[in-house]
Every structure is written in C-alpha cells, then in structure tokens.
Structure 1
Amino acid sequence: MYDKELARQGQNKIEWASNKMPVLESISERWKKDKPLSGVRVAACLHVTAKTANLLITLKAGGAEVALCGSNPLSTQDDVVAALNDIYGVATHAKRGEDTESFFQRIKDVLEIKPHVTVDDGADLINVVQSEKKDLIDNIVGGTEETTTGVTRLKAMAKDGVLPFPVIAVNDAMTKHMFDNRYGTGQSTLDGIMRATNYLFAGSSFVVVGYGWCGRGVAKDADGLGARVTVVEVDPVRALEASLDGFRVTTMEEAAKDADFVVTTTGNKNVIDKHHLENMKDGAIISNAGHFNVEINIEALEEMSTETKEARPEVMEYNTKDGRKIYVIGEGRLVNLAAGEGHPADVMDMSFANQALSVEYLAKGEDKLEKKVYPVPEHLDGEIAALKLERMGMKLEKLTKEQETYLNSWDVGTS
C-alpha cells in the first residue's frame, strides 16, 4: 500500500491531464460499452506520468488486464504510481531514480502477466522478450512502439530476422510525430531546461543537435523565445531545411565553441563527444531530448573533470581540469521528464489514442501480420485527427460531388 496522500496527489494529476485528452475519453466511452479488449493481457513499458495513466485506465476500461513499468528511471512520477496501484487498480512497477538492475527487473515483473500485446516506449520490453523471455513469444499477437528510437531498433531487429512478433510503429502515425514530436518535444524540452536552470533563453546561443521532428520543435520554440539557434545535422536535406527555416547550420565542433545551451535530439550515440566537450565554453549547459542517455558522452566528461557536484536539483556541475564548468541536466536522460512533467496532455491525447486503437487492432487480429514493423492503419490515423478536431470545436470542409468526380478523373484539364 502507498501513502494515501501521495495516491490522492497522483489522482489529482491524472484527472487534470484527462481534461485535455478528449480523444482518449471518446475511445474510453466506447470501450466501456463494447469491451473490445476483454480477456486481453497488455504489458506496457512507458514513462509513468499522469498522461500515461489515462492510457492505462482506458485500456482497462476496454476490458484488458494491464501491467505497467517505467521506460526511464527518471521519468517516473511516484504519486502517479501510487494512484494507479491503489485507486485505479493498475499494477504499476516503477520508482523514480531506480538503478539499472531494478529498472530491468521491473520489466520482467510486468511480463509475468504473460501478455498478448506489448506497448513499448524505446523497445526495451520487446528486447527483453527476445533476449530473455522467448517462452512468451507464442502467446503475443503483436506490439506497439511509440518512439523514433524504438522504431529504429525494431526495424533493425526485423532486418536481422529476430523481431519476435509484428509491431505497429505508433511513432510514425501522422497524428503522433507531427504533433507529439514537434510541438510536444519543443515545449516540454524548453520547460524542463527552464525549470532546471531558471536562465534566460533570449539572446543566448542555443544549439539543437538533430533536425528531425523533435529537433524542429525544439529549434522553433527556442527561436520563439529569442534564442540564437544553431542546428547540427548530418542529413543534407534536413540541414538545408534548417537553413531555410532561418537557422545557422554547422558542425558540432564549431557549434560547441559559443554554445550557452545544447540539446541533443538524434537518438544516436555520443553526438556530444570528448572533443566537443573540450571545445565548450565555461558555463555551457547540456541536455538531451532523445530517448536513451547515450547521446552525451558523460563518461568522457567525468574523466575530464576534477570535481562534480549537484549545482541545482537535476543539474550536475562538472569542474574540468582546465578550469571550466560544464553543466548536464538530468544525467543526460530525457530532459523534459527528468526536469519537467513531459509533453502537454493535449498532444499526448493523440499519441495515446494511436496506442489504444493500435492495441485494439492487434487484439482483433482481423489481418494476418508477419513479423515486421507496420504503420498505424491509415483509417485510424484519420479517425484520431477527426475526433481531435471535433472536440476542439473545429469543422472540416466537404468536397462537392463535382469536386470528387474531378479529382478522380483523368480526362479533364485546361479548358
């Protein structure tokens, strides 16, 4: 049993988030009547936040037996864990700040329910099934994956012929990555940095490493707050886009020299490496908005330093041998969750609606799926967008019959 006050605090958070999650509410209302997930066991490895809680509550409303563990040691909100376990009856295995051994043990604990469907954020759940729990594979009809990093891992598994079951790439849905990754990551990343530092962005030199959907969002919002934004990118098309969006584009080695803030958004390893750290000026603040804590070479920074101390909550100060101070937020883990509350509920509404409807699609098993990574079915993506617009009070224009005929013809041109 958890402390009752802690559980009530978590319940308040969950209810507050639900106010801005109308699409998930619509799904929950239907599922309470239809129970499409009756008898289905769902194991989820996600950031344990108030928004995530609403997804798990919705899955339970659909009749599923659900179990949840955290997908990042610093993203768990302990009051939400307490509320899920004690008030909502959702078995949740997570604790903020746990070590790596405990983190992976909780994944194994979740798998004890012998799931039919997995719900992942970073592919750790599927990876544990494939590497340590192969006896569960025959019982699993499929899984879903929410992150760019996770989808990349799963596609690599599929390429090597070791993906254990079909997976739907929720991250690749238009109603996920165009909104969650861009607007959600943009706002929540800057929110996390501001909470951690209480420093001003306006006039600062702000470096964004990677210009995918997450990088676009971070760069746009930093620019909107008056920062001088520089983008580091390896892809020439994305680099050109960043340039035409008005940002300076250069190498990490050059960008490091005058950076006040650096945010990594690549999903790749050591994009801030030792030689970049050696180039950084005194007082540089580094953070990561990618899923795993591999983008910043923390080990190299430790070797370069004579002393480390916690300068502020979630901010570690490294005093280098040459007399500089470099700051890292949240141990190089997801800054928006390590130092903040994650994405706004408004965008997670669509992301988790994709998760929910994809779980329903897999559970119904109407299509024969191979062991591959699949996109979210197009009709579900459209359904989510339409529901969101409706709940926002927006209206769609409709094509006339003449317009439909014109768009489906080939013999009408210039007259």
Structure 2
Amino acid sequence: MLNRRILYIIGSLEVGGAERHVAQVAMRLKERGWEPEIFVLMPGGPLTHVLNDAGVTIHGVTLPAWVSRVLKNDRLHARVGLVVTSFALICKLWLRRPAVVHFFLPAAYVIGGLASLFARVPARIMSRRSLRNYQAAHPFFARVERYLHPRMTLVCGNSNAVVNELFAEGISAQRLRLTYNGIDLAPYNTPFDRGAARTKAGLPENALVFVLVANLIPYKGHADLIKALARIKKALPEPWLVLCIGRDDGIGADLQQEADSLGVGSNIHFLGSRTDVPGFLRLADVGLLCSHEEGFSNAVLECMAAGLPMVVTNVGGNAEAVLDGVTGYVVPAHNPERLADALLQISLANDRASMGEKGKRRAGEHFSMISCIDAYEALYHETGAGVR
C-alpha cells in the first residue's frame, strides 16, 4: 500500500504568509490524492475553518481551563503546555505514521523536529521561510536547529537568499532545495469593475492608490513608509492614498500617531486583517513591501498577479520576484530616502501600467500555485512517499 500521508507542523493557523501557504498546499495536495494533515502548536485561528471545509484533518492540544486557574504563573503554564504539546505530537506521529513530516517556521521545527526523532518518522523536511535574523533574539533556536539540520532528509528555502543562509549553516547542497512560493492566479483573472470597486470602498475613482499587505509588525517597515511619504507628500499626484492591510500586532496606534504628526495621517488607511484582499489589490495602482527582513513574500506575488507595478526593499527573495526597472523598483531596506525616490518615480512613470503587466506575466510564468504544488510533489516522491 502507498503511504501518501503528509503531516505538516506549524505554530498556528492565524492569517499570515506561512500559514496561508501551508493551508493552500495542503488543500491542493488533497485534490491530487495525497493525505495531508496538520498539527498546530496553538490550535484555533481563522484558517482552521477553511481547512476543515476542505476535509483536511487538523490536530492540536488545548489545555483545559482549570489548568490556567491552577497554574497562575504564566511561565509555568507555558512550560506545561509545551510538554503536553510535545508528548501529544510524539503520540500522534506514532499513531498516524506519516510518510513525511514537514516543518514550517522555527518553533514548529524545534518542537516538531525533536518529536519526529523520538517517533522515528521515515522522512523529515524542514522549510525555512525567512532569513535567520530571528536567531539573534533566540539563540536556543539556533543551537537546536543546527543539531536538527543533519538529521533532516531534505531542507528547503523559499528564495535563493534563504538557501544561501542554510548552506552557510552547514547543510550540504545535496540536501538543499529551492521551493518558491506559489499563488492562486484565478482571483486575478476574473472580470473586474475597478470603478465600481472603488466606489464601494469609498475611494475616489481618480486617486493614486498604493497598497501594502503586511501585518503591523516593526520589521515590516511601515514606519519607513510613513517617513518616505512625508518627504514627497506635496509632489505626489493628488489625490493619493495608501491602503495598509494586515493584522495589528500592537504598533497600529503608534503608526497612526507618527503619520498624523508628519501630515500624512489622512492619506493612510489602516484596514486591519481582511479576507477580500484580491479586490483591494485590483483597485490599487501600485503595490508595496517595505520589509527589513523577508524570506519570499506571498504578498508581493499577489500584487504582481493583480497587475501592480511594485516598490519593494532588497531583502530575501524580493529582488527574485520583482525585476528592478522592469516590473517595479527595488530599494535598500531601512532607507526612507531611497524609498521616497522610488515611490515618486513610479507615481509619475508613464509606463507604470506596462510594468504591472510584465509583473503579472512573470507571476504566472514563475510563481503559480500549480508549479509550486508540482515542486512539493517532487520533494515527497524524492523521499519515497507515494512511490510504489
């Protein structure tokens, strides 16, 4: 009998780039006859319902309420939760016997990687989706990861920048794989009334609209964007607006205050987390990503699929997606001055629509979900999963 069961381990099913990617991959693989399951370190999150509706099994452990009442110390509660989750994961691996266990994000790799060694899973794959900047703040993760690396069957990075860092950590080229993100192009190829969409959203039909899809986290660079816009606010074509889509992780009020103090508060709209992102991308004119660190951003690919010319920072795989001067502009991170120059240049460019069309073609040719799922199937076949 063929074993086509893949167990993904990830921290949560909140709406984030890695979480959405795993959900998409799991659902598409199920359509191709695989048996994907997901173990979540922190159960819950809006993507849970999406996966349940698609028939993807989700595992996880939630401590009963009385444990919180007994363990009033938060640190002790977290440690008990870690032990219980780890034990439950080991048991699940023994019972389900997946052909492959696949880890996404550092916490899942550390906890899941160690658990998979105890459970003697036949094939283990780790996918890193960001640069290793996080290791400076979490040296324990760095030590455990270096212990786990040689015990992985394959190790994947989602950009050349990430793959190069993994190689520098001692992983042999024979076990390294580049697996680009993929996006569903269908939402961007249906008929769309841009004017009606703007009217419904309360936006002027003639406005220059920038859009940034990124949770409000310091390293996503929203503060740099605000400073850049303040430098060029009088030179931008009127009216202009910036739509910031993403969950507020605690800095939203500070960003709004900074924007107000620099005179651009009324131009920047913080929309929070949305489920209708494709519609906002298609009514915009320019896509943005101002990150200080990145692996390979799905948000950039989605903006490109919507036909938007891009302004992105040169971190991670951004420059592998956006061709500088062809489909947009690539600028240094932490540099509001250069960011401002690029924003003004693309705002006044006569070939802006042409740049967006080139980006749309590039997204379809190199970063489709179909090619991404093909790459994942090749990974699993390489480990022996699903092979007679």
Per the TM superposition, whether the score is higher than 0.5 is no
TM-score (norm 1): 0.32
TM-score (norm 2): 0.34
